[in-house]
Amino acid sequence: MATTDLSYYDKATIPNAKSFRFGIVVSEWNSEITKNLQKGAIETLIDCGATKENIISWDVPGSFELVYGCKKMIESQKVDAIIAIGNVIQGETKHFDFVCEGVTQGIVDLNIKYDVPVIFCVLTDNNKQQSLDRSGGKHGNKGIECAIAAVKMADLKNLGRTTEHIGF
């Protein structure tokens, strides 16, 4: 995935997001990265038909807090999908491993417990340049990719349908 352009999507293959309500929970840590991901996600949701009024965005201090922020959003807002946006950059200690594992498992747990898809938009890179490359740089913007996933999952949640089964 690291060598692909994360920003490409074929709008003709994406459900119309006009009737969906989206949540975005954004980590303030590494805000240069996370705000670019948020911008890409919001612009893409709007491009796919969502209205600004149907996009709720909350900030949390860091990536570890994304899980609680998403949980509170699920419990207090009527949303069809949530995008959890964060950025964790490898350092000299095992803190990176603990944060990445905790956030990943927390988002998995939310997807199992609640009937609201939570999209994992947490960059876990070895250095800041890799994060810059994936948040609007040479590899595009993962926020865009995650917005597309959110639209598709909101459609799946609301219609109770799956994609066509070709050859089955």
Q: Is residue 128 part of a domain?
A: yes
Q: Is residue 91 part of a domain?
A: yes
Helix (DSSP H) and strand (DSSP E) numbers for the chain? 5, 6
Q: Is residue 21 part of a domain?
A: no
Q: Is residue 58 part of a domain?
A: yes
Provide the annotated active-site residues. 95
Q: Which residues span the domain enclosing 154?
A: 31-158
Confidence of residue 168 (pLDDT cuts 50, 70, 90): very low
Q: Is residue 164 part of a domain?
A: no
**Whether the model pTM is above 0.85:** yes
Tens-place pLDDT, residues 75-128: 999 999 999 999 999 988 888 889 989 999 999 999 999 999 999 999 999 999
Neighbours of 129 (CB within 10 A): 12
Confidence of residue 4 (pLDDT cuts 50, 70, 90): low
> Which CATH number covers residue 43?
3.40.50.960
Portion of the chain with pLDDT greater than 90, in percent: 76
Handedness of CA 77, 19, 103, 131 (dihedral sign): negative
Number of domains in the chain: 1
